[in-house]
C-alpha cells in the first residue's frame, strides 16, 4: 500500500515539470519574436539612415554639373563681327564702276584686238606648209616596182615545149665522173648542178665494244688496211667503229662482204642525212622529136632517167 501511494505523487510532479518546460519555451519564443522585431526595426531604421545619407551625397554631387558652365564661354556668337563685312559697301563701288557708257568703248577695243587674232591665223598656215612632207612619203621610189615585169623571163616563152632530162643526183664525185664518161661515149654532154638533198645513208660498223679502248684498237687496224673510220657511241657502255656511209645498197653490200672476209662482225644501219649533191642533167631539148632521139640513146646505153617538161 505504501508503494501505491508513492506513484501518484511522482506522476503529479512530472506533470508540473512538463508545464514548466512548456511555459519556458513559450517565454523563449516570445523573446525570440520580440528580438526579431527589434532587429528588423533596427535594420529598417539603419536602411533609411543609409539611404538618406546616400541621397544626400547624390544631392551634394548634383551641383557638380555647374562646372560645365564653361559653355558660357561659347561666345561663338561673336562671329557677328564679320557681319560688318556684309555692310556691302562694295556694292556701291560696283555701281560707280557701272558707267555702262565706257563699257561699249571697251567692247570696241576688244573688237580691235580680235583683228590681230586673225593675223595670228597665218601662224596656222605653216602647218599646211608641213604637208609638203607628205609628198616625201609619196616619193614613188617604189616606181621601180615595175621591174618585176622583168621577172617573167622571156626564156620560157622563147622555147615552148622545151624538155630537160635528169639522170641522177650523186654525193660522190667518182660516180658523177663515171656517168659523164658514159654519156660522152654516146655523144651527149650533160650539165652539172649543185643541190642540198636528203640522202638515205647506209652506215656500216664493225662489232660492238664495251670499252672505247677496244674500239680504238680495231679502228687502228682498219685504218692500216685503208678504211677511213671513226669510233662512235651506239648506246650506254657500247661503242662501234664506223667504216663508211653509202648512198646505195650495192656499195654498202660490197663493203660488208670485204669486212666479213677479214673476220669482222659487221652491222648495217640506215639513216637520212642532208648532203651536198651533184645533179646530172641534159637540158635545152627543143621539141618532142629531139627528145625521142636523146631518150633512144639513153635506153641503148641502159641508163636510168626521167623527163621534165617546162
Q: Above 70 in pLDDT, residue 29?
A: yes
For residue 309, list its beta bridge partners. 163
Write out pLDDT tens, residues 59-107.
Answer: 555 555 555 555 545 555 555 555 444 444 444 444 444 445 444 444 4
Of 269, 153, 146, nearest in space to 200 by CA: 269
Q: What angle (nearest 5°) sits at the alpha carbon of residue 105, between those of residues 100 and 107?
A: 90
Q: Where are the domains of the chain?
A: 157-309
Place of cell 590681230: 116
For residue 197, list its beta bridge partners. 275
- In contact, 164 and 281? CB cutoff 8 Å: yes
Write out pLDDT tens, residues 158-179.
Answer: 444 589 999 988 878 899 999 9
Superfamily of segment(s) 157-309 = Sporulation related repeat (3.30.70.1070)
Burial label, 265 (beta-carbon count in 10 A; 0-12, 13-18, 19+)? exposed
Of 234, 224, 178, nearest in space to 204 by CA: 234
**Residues 278-298: b if buried by 16+ CB within 10 A, e if exposed:** bbbbbeebeeeeebeebbeeb
Burial label, 7 (beta-carbon count in 10 A; 0-12, 13-18, 19+)? exposed
Amino acid at each position: 500500500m505504501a508503494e501505491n501511494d508513492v506513484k501518484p505523487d511522482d506522476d503529479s510532479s512530472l506533470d508540473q515539470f512538463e508545464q514548466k518546460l512548456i511555459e519556458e519555451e513559450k517565454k523563449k519564443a516570445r523573446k525570440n519574436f520580440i528580438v526579431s522585431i527589434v532587429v528588423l526595426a533596427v535594420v529598417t531604421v539603419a536602411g533609411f539612415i543609409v539611404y538618406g545619407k546616400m541621397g544626400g551625397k547624390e544631392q551634394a554631387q548634383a551641383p557638380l554639373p555647374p562646372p560645365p558652365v564653361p559653355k558660357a564661354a561659347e561666345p561663338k556668337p561673336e562671329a557677328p563681327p564679320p557681319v560688318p563685312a556684309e555692310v556691302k559697301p562694295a556694292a556701291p563701288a560696283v555701281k560707280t564702276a557701272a558707267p555702262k557708257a565706257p563699257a561699249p568703248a571697251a567692247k570696241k577695243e576688244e573688237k580691235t584686238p580680235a583683228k590681230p587674232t586673225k593675223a595670228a591665223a597665218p601662224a596656222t598656215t605653216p602647218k599646211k606648209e608641213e604637208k609638203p612632207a607628205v609628198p616625201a612619203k609619196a616619193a614613188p621610189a617604189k616606181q621601180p616596182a615595175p621591174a618585176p615585169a622583168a621577172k617573167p623571163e622571156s626564156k620560157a616563152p622563147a622555147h615552148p615545149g622545151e624538155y630537160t632530162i635528169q639522170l641522177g643526183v650523186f654525193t660522190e664525185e667518182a660516180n658523177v665522173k663515171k656517168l659523164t664518161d658514159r654519156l660522152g661515149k654516146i655523144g651527149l654532154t650533160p650539165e652539172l648542178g649543185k643541190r642540198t638533198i636528203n640522202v638515205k645513208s647506209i652506215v656500216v660498223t664493225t662489232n660492238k665494244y664495251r670499252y672505247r679502248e677496244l674500239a680504238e684498237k680495231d679502228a687502228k687496224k682498219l685504218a692500216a688496211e685503208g678504211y677511213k673510220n671513226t669510233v662512235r657511241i651506239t648506246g650506254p657502255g657500247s661503242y662501234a667503229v664506223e667504216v663508211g656511209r653509202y648512198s646505195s645498197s650495192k656499195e654498202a653490200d660490197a663493203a660488208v662482204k670485204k669486212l666479213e672476209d677479214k673476220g669482222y662482225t659487221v652491222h648495217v644501219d640506215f639513216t637520212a642525212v642532208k648532203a651536198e649533191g651533184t645533179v646530172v642533167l641534159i637540158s635545152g631539148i627543143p621539141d618532142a622529136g629531139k627528145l625521142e632521139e636523146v631518150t633512144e640513146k639513153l635506153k641503148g646505153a641502159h641508163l636510168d632517167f626521167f623527163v621534165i617538161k617546162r
